[in-house]
Structure 1
Amino acid sequence: MTSVTSLRAEYRDDTGFVAVAAPRLSWKTSTDSADWTQVSAEIEGGADAVTVEGRDSVLVDWPFAPLAAGESRAVRVRVTGSDGETSDWSEPLVVEAGFVDEWTAPLVRAAAPTGIGRPLLVRGTVDLPPFTRAVLFATAQGVYQAEINGTEVDDQILKPGWTAYQHRLTHETTDVTDLLHKGENIVGVRLAGGWFTESFGFNGNDSPFYGDHPAVSVQLRVTLADGSVEIFRSDAAWQTFDDGPVISSSIYDGETFDARKEPAGWSTVGFDASGWAAAAEVAEFPTPSARYSPAVRITDELQVREVITSPSGRTILDFGQNVVGRLRITVTGEAGHTVTLRHAEVLEHGELGLRPLRRAKATDHYTLAGDGPETWEPSFTFHGFRYAEVENWPGEFDPADVTAVVFHSDMVRTGWFDSSHELVNKLHENVVWGMRGNFLYLPTDCPQRDERLGWTGDIQVFSPTASYLYEADGFLASWLEDLALEQKQRDGVVPFIVPDVLRGFAAPAAAWGDAATVVPSVLLERFADRRVLETQYPSMRDWADTIVKLSGERHLWEGNFQFGDWLDPDAPADFPADAKTDADIVATAHVFLSVDLVAKAAAVLGYDEDARSYRSLADTVRTAFRREYVTASGRMVSDAQTAYGMAIQFGLTESDDEKQRMGDRLAALVRAAGYRIGTGFVGTPLVADALTATGHLEVAGRLLTQTENPSWLYPVTMGATTIWERWDSMLEDGSINPGEMTSFNHYALGAIADWMHRSLAGLAPAQPGYRVIRIEPRPLPEFDYATTSHETPYGLASAGWKRVGSQYVVDAVVPPNTTAEVVLPGAAETLTVGSGTHSWTVDAAPAAASTAPLSLDSDLTAIIDDREAYESVLAAIGEVDADAARALRKNTKWVAGRSLHEELMIMSGTVAEAAKTALAGRR
């Protein structure tokens, strides 16, 4: 039986409204037939029907006349497969134009605003004749929620989100037919400043960037009973009120709400608005376009896990998970009583860890109306927190009266991972939670402090992981549109953050600006989105041209400002750019990366002349890089993990032999560091892949499963529930890193999850959109099994392995209309299989022969390579001298040619004796 499922119009699944006149269509097929491929598809839209020959079922061009504003079509699809069977028609998908022909409604705001960002209530009257349909279009310079006749129009939060406001506004499109009636209706809007009036900046130089006062624009398109269409608009006849219950609201500081000031029935007919003022019109603003990124909604609610009384006597609530959202409280007390809620990610010495918030107050205040149980949550702010301090709660506190409300961009979950290693599983869960918290209209760096900005370097390294875990295509495509707009204002320079609100910071930076080339390439690879590649191609090319010009005649980008391998674990707490890998090496490597990606994009798009030109340029940059930074023996001038990771993974090596020598050196560096990570933001997504590609899989495994600081699992052992910004955002003694910049929810270092999916469990795209899948699981000694699944554009795919005695069992599911290249553990050949469920059993490689007994005379490499011996030595030394054990763990370079005895010579005799006894006890 064959059927068509998941018919979708780009990019959103949560609404029938589309943002473009010719939306591409995608569908998936369910079938009992193995090795199934699509031979043709029929697409029907009303009276029109077309046949698409071949396998295309992902982002298929709209085959009908473009939709006009207000027009809709019911589309359905049926397919004929390689088995000769034709499916039934799919369920119809109603596709409706969610855009307008012309935006004619002005923005309206308070005529005499009192204070920057002052929240408002706005209301307008709409008198309707008999009608059949009504669609609300609304946008804001600020954040808003609309209600009609006292009922909120939807469940979305902080609309319309944050875009580069001076260049681009987006609008919501909402069917409100059921909220209106013939005659008089009231459209009400709760409005606050949000990002539009927020003060941005560092070191006391913060101020509003876009404007001082919020404004909203509303158009209501009504189809009358006679079939005609009438547009109702916000204008100067609407009214505003700035003495409502929201006293103040700030993204960073929180919200203050006085329930005594709520005007009952303010958005309903019959309300006395005599004290309200006429609105002022704002005529000039970018023409709003329909938003195609997913809505922000509540996705989870968490109850209090523990009530803590801090050493200072404060009441602190632990929700057990670092989340992004707000608190919902139900409280009873006297009118005028104010409850205060403070938020933080961690505790430090039993109190809220507030220092990482910097100037962000992250505090909400609720003043009671005094009329019985009152339930409230803030509307126009959000916080990153696991812990909340409750102050001035009236009466006896009941933890059931407080709920953590979790929200983020409501993307569809598409990627999962599981293994026999519980700490690694928790790491993966932390990556997911970190993405959830930081994908809120745009990809932010952190959700809690006075920042929460769209740093380009962070998403550049994390975009492959994001694209696996969630259906992030529309989200990232929307953000890239802002990137291109901001870049255009800077003559090709991509700013550090998008939207860009950092005055005076316009320098290009490697790995950050390369988001312009990397993210579109990822969207092609993971979603087969050729159009976004085409749309972003001018931005890609302009960035490549900019940094090529900066590299000059030597083709080396050197001497300029750089973030470098940001947050290298050896960098000082107050100087996070001071990495082991020289910033010029990072910069020039990224010149090659971006030029190479532009050459590849040009080839995909059929821009043959550009493809040849940029390919030649990439070869020139590679030659310059090797001449300057690589010795004849294959050593890098910066002898550090990130340097080798870039050279191997970007394709900067000259030959397979040189690549292997670099991989061998990388493995030696990782071992010398005690199998601890030595990379910052740039190297972290590269190092495991570089080791794997050069035959050092088990080194990558030791690196992944390391629990000492710095490592991916160290934060897990410290109780982390999201990914930290620094490898040691919290120190071993439970104190917060002394650096001025520390976050406990910062997804960049979670980029390792992509390697876990592709290499450890073994599921990767071999052609854009997973049309061909690569199944190549790589078992590790630390694991008994690892498995992953991903909802590809063609359907659910999975891969994984488990150890059964002396064999590996490899299982895979290949979705219909795709094929897979399969490389089994220990095999050299590649198998090709079609869709369906597959299983293979292969012999596991024999365990390595036991080594000779270890002693104080053993080479340091022999000690570190035997995890049990290493741990027993450190434990034994720690029992007699804890400081010596810490020093040995932290400072030793585990290199060949040096014995353990030599390493311990400067320590006391009792230390050496303890180590000797520990090793002897293992025989």
Structure 2
Amino acid sequence: MRHRYLRRGTAVLAVVAGLVTAGPAVVASTAAPRGHAPGAPVDLTVGDRDRPLNVEGAPLFGWRPVDRDPGELQTAYQIVVRQDGKPVWDSGRVASGSQEYVAYAGPALAPATGYTWTVRTWDRTGQPSPWARQAAFDTGLDDGDWRASWIRRTTAEADDYTLARKEFTLGRSPVVRARAYIAASHQYALHVNGTVVDKGGTFAYPDAGYYRAVDVTRQLRAGGTAVVGVQYHWYGRGQGRPAGEPGLLLRLEVDHADGTTRTVVTDGSWQVTRGPWLPAPKRNGDGGDYVEEFDATAEPRGWDRPGFDASAWQTPQVLGTHPAGVFTSLRAQETDLQFETVEPVSVTRLDSGTLVADFGKVIPAAPVVRFRDGEQGRHVAMHAGYVLNPDGTVSRDSDDNQNTNLAYGHTQRDGDQTFRSFTYLGFRYLEVEDPSAEISAVVQHTAVDDGRRAWLRTSDPGVDAAFDLMRRSALYGSQEQFLDTPTREKGQFLGDTADISLATMSGYGERTLTRQAIRQFIESQARYWPDGRLNAVYPNGDGKRDIPDYTEMFPGWIWDYYVRTGDRGVLAEAYPVMRAVADYVRRYIDPATGLVTRLEGGSGEYRYGIIDWPATMRYGHDMSTAARTVINVLGVDVLNATARAAEELGESGEGLRADAAALTGAINATLRRGDGLYHDGLRGDGSASTHASQIANAYALAFGVVPEEDRAAVSEYVASLGMRMGPMTAHRLLQALAGRPDDVVERLTDAESPGWANILARGGTFTWESWDAPETGQSHSHPWGATSLVEIQRTILGVTPTAPAGSEVAIRPPKSGVDSAAGEVPVQRGMVGVDWRRVGDGVSLTVDLPVNVVAEVHVPAGGKDDVRVHGQARFVERRDGYAVYEVGSGKVTFFSA
């Protein structure tokens, strides 16, 4: 499996069939022994979701085969889809190893309808499994299916909080199924009979919006009055938030046991009123959020329950049946948010009576504060923050809080009441000017499966601490979209997104938020950039805006996604955009030098390429260059990643690969000093920069530009500089140092120098925007520094996915750096487990693979005679001081002397 992957199930079968129980010598058999029949498949998903309620287009089925026999593979599957127990589609037995994104191929499915499905598989000896436990999915709504009107409250407020309600009666027959389909601009909370059943944000352009489907069956009872209510918040354009217009669209379908259906839709019969928030200033000039000032004296208590007197409420403005006005198209939202109520780790009462709650770490959360003895008209000020003042109060200093006003306000009514912020922020501390307050917070982030959470424990606690910091930061920076920061901007920057996405995919097996982001950036090219660029932030309130090297990151990100997921459909969607990016880069290759020169895009400090950010993180990089080494190396990756996609989709990548080779040659011929190191580029007059930055040399190593014979010298130079790259690009430094695990560990654990250990040593609990964030007023909650967890998995644990869907992985423990490492890495086909430790002069290595995964295992050893194997493995060769084996699913242990 060296430098390639096995592309057909029959090829993989041939490899695994040759695996036998091995002692010091391994001999391949010619036929697979007949073992146990496989177990019933588990973890059934549609589009990577367990129980989706709004599937659009052909459902894409996924599952995990189960088999206790070692070295097992799926060789065939059969899927059956039913509706009300009646078969809709039977795939029949399909000879295939695919277990992900298997498309439905039956008759058209009805909208807003529930279906069940199951699957069985066959193993490598042709034995079938039992049928899987039945799973379910619902189809969603097309634009023409809604038959509901967009409504809103008539107002000119820039920060619009609106309550909307509809009271109705239900028939006496039992409710067997109820679904609410909802879209709102920009945020909403859906209430049914006094209970909040869903919360979400629809930060999208109104001509390409999102809707959600919510199961409300349990909230509705037959034979009575019911209320559906929506609290929505529209607040104009901002970072990550197009302006659009305020609006609400809802369709509620209630199915009764007698076959009747009660349908409730937004229309002119609804009632609306202003929400009980007071006008307040913006938090900052970047994000466009407003301070929340809640007025409990104006709260219409019981508004979301039957019997409430709403006679004083307004009739809504009706824009028309969807699609209407600016709201011309909706699509199903695949992502979910996950909410958890957390308590402070401590609460301190100051001499003034003010309470200061410490949540122990920076969290993206909505504060919740209960006042049991409220006093009519009393205003309580609250301040969130990242840093405490010497007197114990929460710092309001702009440098401590990302230039953001993190205040909240609550005007009390008499009696018991609770302030619940509608919009989250990133913070650690919350100060409340009421000595009797009870403080908590609701943490939110994109929903992930805890069963697919990566973990790592090594002999070095500093490595473990850095890994845990990165993993948590990646999750907390993943909300309705990937974030710049949960405090200041909340925007989905392309460069940040590519970084955070890789961390969430590798740290949590996350898929849906990444897929949404990919499609959004694809859309940005169609909306704004006919020349092949992509928007730097999308969706966004400031329209057309790009950063050249962010555009260059897109093709490599897509290939990373494909290797982790095997999602050929998204690869095909993204491929034309990748080609356009490749053509954009090609247009700026100067025929005289063969180099990408003045790659058009960006403005100010971003023009021709951001390189690293903030500016202090460039560590003297020569920004006067026109042909920048970093931009040219990224150009090589653009061409190579696009070539790989072309070849995977059955097209020729020959021209792209030739251009990548030519660009690599030009870089090595022109952008190197006499000592073989890479300088920062050529200036406009053709003269060479005299500065050889760490980032230029690290990128050349990480992307394979450095000739093999020169890699050791360039690596030595890069390592000698310590950390002279920012959190945004530091994962490329660790990638460049992958062959030097001692240096990787030093960068992860050196608390005195810039890096993750220094963040932790200075009390940081979330990755920072820059290593000098406390001194320069940069963000203390910037998830782009989390991406290096991938390099920890590769270099320290030794696990690298090498083929689509993680069907093949390389496992290669380092020969130095740490003395032991154990952990699991999520791939599409399951969890890859590794546990290795040094024993005397040898190594004990245990590998545990899911069914349908093959690994190339590198055991540190002089040769195969120095290795004992417990389990099934096939010796391949001795390479670079390792004995290399191929193994299949199950647990295999290697002992080397």
Q: Same fold (TM over 0.5)?
A: yes
Q: Which amino acid aligns with 1:190?
A: Q
Match of 1:904 in 2: none
Rate the CA distance shift 1:749–1:336 in 2: closer, same or farther, 3 A: same
CA contact (8 A) 2:847 2:891 kept: yes
Matches within 5 A, 1:747-826: 747-781=783-817, 783-826=818-861
Rate the CA distance shift 1:592–1:418 in 2: closer, same or farther, 3 A: same
Matches within 5 A, 1:421-460: 421-449=460-488, 451-460=489-498
Rate the CA distance shift 1:664–1:580 in 2: closer, same or farther, 3 A: farther
Q: Distance in 2 between matches of 1:577 and 1:637?
A: 9
Rate the CA distance shift 1:148–1:306 in 2: closer, same or farther, 3 A: closer
The Cα shift of 1:325 comes to 0.5
The Cα shift of 1:290 comes to 4.2
Q: Distance in 2 between matches of 1:358 and 1:698?
A: 35
Match of 1:831 in 2: 885
Q: How many percent of aligned residue pairs carry the same amino acid?
A: 22
Does the alignment pair 1:529 with 2:578? no
Any idea what SS the aligned residue of 2:734 has?
A: helix
Residue among 736, 754, 757 paired with 1:713: 757
Residue among 443, 452, 455 paired with 1:416: 455
Deviations 1:491-522 (A, max 9, x none): 2321211113235x634421x12343122211
Match of 1:236 in 2: 268
CA contact (8 A) 2:54 2:139 kept: yes
CA contact (8 A) 1:641 1:666 kept: no
Residue among 534, 557, 564 paired with 2:596: 557
CA contact (8 A) 1:810 1:839 kept: yes
RMSD: 2.8
Q: Distance in 2 between matches of 1:807 and 1:348?
A: 52
Q: Distance in 2 between matches of 1:422 and 1:461?
A: 25
Q: Distance in 1 between matches of 2:743 and 2:306?
A: 70
Q: Which amino acid aligns with 1:390?
A: V
Match of 2:516 in 1: 478
Match of 1:322 in 2: 362
Rate the CA distance shift 1:318–1:22 in 2: closer, same or farther, 3 A: same
Match of 2:33 in 1: none
Q: Which runs of 5+ in 2 are unaligned?
A: 1-35, 283-287, 601-606, 681-691, 862-880
Q: Distance in 2 between matches of 1:247 and 1:60?
A: 51
Task: Identify the range of structure 1 (639-648 vs 237-246) with the bigger mean alpha-carbon deviation.
Answer: 237-246
The Cα shift of 1:160 comes to 3.5
Q: Which runs of 5+ in 1 are unaligned?
A: 202-207, 730-735, 844-923
Matches within 5 A, 1:654-733: 655-658=707-710, 660=711, 663-671=712-720, 673=721, 676-680=722-726, 683-693=729-739, 696-729=740-773
After TM superposition, the score normalised by the length of structure 2 is 0.83
The Cα shift of 1:6 comes to 3.3
After TM superposition, the score normalised by the length of structure 1 is 0.81
Matches within 5 A, 1:252-331: 252-282=289-319, 283-299=324-340, 301-307=342-348, 309=350, 315-331=355-371
CA contact (8 A) 1:252 1:360 kept: no
Does the alignment pair 1:105 with 2:140? no
Deviations 1:64-106 (A, max 9, x none): 3342202332211122212554322111001221334523323
Does the alignment pair 1:148 with 2:192? yes
Match of 1:842 in 2: 896
Rate the CA distance shift 1:299–1:541 in 2: closer, same or farther, 3 A: farther
Question: Which of structures 1 and 2 has the larger relative contact order (alpha carbons within 8 angstroms, sep 6+)?
Answer: 2
Residue among 651, 662, 665 paired with 2:704: 651
Q: Distance in 2 between matches of 1:243 and 1:192?
A: 9
Match of 1:540 in 2: 578
The Cα shift of 1:231 comes to 4.5
Any idea what SS the aligned residue of 1:831 has?
A: strand
Does the alignment pair 1:96 with 2:148? no
Does the alignment pair 1:341 with 2:382? yes
Deviations 1:658-711 (A, max 9, x none): 3x2xx423323422x3xx211135641222222234xx3333333333222212
Q: Distance in 2 between matches of 1:645 and 1:34?
A: 40
Rate the CA distance shift 1:265–1:682 in 2: closer, same or farther, 3 A: closer
The Cα shift of 1:589 comes to 1.7
Rate the CA distance shift 1:576–1:65 in 2: closer, same or farther, 3 A: farther
Matches within 5 A, 1:160-309: 160-163=201-204, 165-180=205-220, 181-182=222-223, 184-193=225-234, 197-200=236-239, 210-211=243-244, 214-223=246-255, 227=259, 231-242=263-274, 244=276, 252-282=289-319, 283-299=324-340, 301-307=342-348, 309=350
Q: Distance in 2 between matches of 1:710 and 1:790?
A: 27
Rate the CA distance shift 1:6–1:338 in 2: closer, same or farther, 3 A: farther
Q: Distance in 2 between matches of 1:540 and 1:807?
A: 46
Match of 1:596 in 2: 640
Any idea what SS the aligned residue of 1:514 has?
A: helix
Rate the CA distance shift 1:320–1:563 in 2: closer, same or farther, 3 A: farther
Deviations 1:581-619 (A, max 9, x none): 9982222222221121111111111122xx223222222
The Cα shift of 1:787 comes to 1.8
Residue among 779, 792, 795 paired with 1:743: 779
Match of 1:853 in 2: none
Q: Which amino acid aligns with 1:325?
A: A
Any idea what SS the aligned residue of 2:838 has?
A: strand
Q: Which amino acid aligns with 2:659?
A: L
Any idea what SS the aligned residue of 1:664 has?
A: helix
Rate the CA distance shift 1:473–1:80 in 2: closer, same or farther, 3 A: same
Q: Distance in 1 between matches of 2:630 and 2:353?
A: 49
Q: Distance in 2 between matches of 1:713 and 1:73?
A: 50
Rate the CA distance shift 1:172–1:248 in 2: closer, same or farther, 3 A: farther
The Cα shift of 1:832 comes to 0.4
Does the alignment pair 1:39 with 2:75? yes
Rate the CA distance shift 1:254–1:91 in 2: closer, same or farther, 3 A: farther
Rate the CA distance shift 1:58–1:369 in 2: closer, same or farther, 3 A: same
The Cα shift of 1:558 comes to 2.9
CA contact (8 A) 1:7 1:93 kept: no
Q: Distance in 2 between matches of 1:54 and 1:684?
A: 40
Any idea what SS the aligned residue of 1:431 has?
A: helix
CA contact (8 A) 1:138 1:217 kept: yes
Rate the CA distance shift 1:507–1:260 in 2: closer, same or farther, 3 A: closer
Q: Which amino acid aligns with 1:565?
A: I
Deviations 1:438-480 (A, max 9, x none): 100111011112x121111122234332211123211111112
Q: Which amino acid aligns with 2:243?
A: Y
Q: Distance in 2 between matches of 1:581 and 1:700?
A: 30
Rate the CA distance shift 1:462–1:408 in 2: closer, same or farther, 3 A: closer
Q: Which amino acid aligns with 1:170?
A: Y
The Cα shift of 1:3 comes to 2.2
Task: Identify the range of structure 1 (38-47 vs 555-564) with the bigger mean alpha-carbon deviation.
Answer: 555-564
Match of 2:427 in 1: 385
Q: Distance in 2 between matches of 1:332 and 1:551?
A: 68
Residue among 57, 74, 97 paired with 2:99: 57
Rate the CA distance shift 1:339–1:643 in 2: closer, same or farther, 3 A: same
Rate the CA distance shift 1:418–1:535 in 2: closer, same or farther, 3 A: same
Q: Distance in 1 between matches of 2:738 and 2:624?
A: 22
Match of 1:917 in 2: none
Any idea what SS the aligned residue of 2:738 has?
A: helix
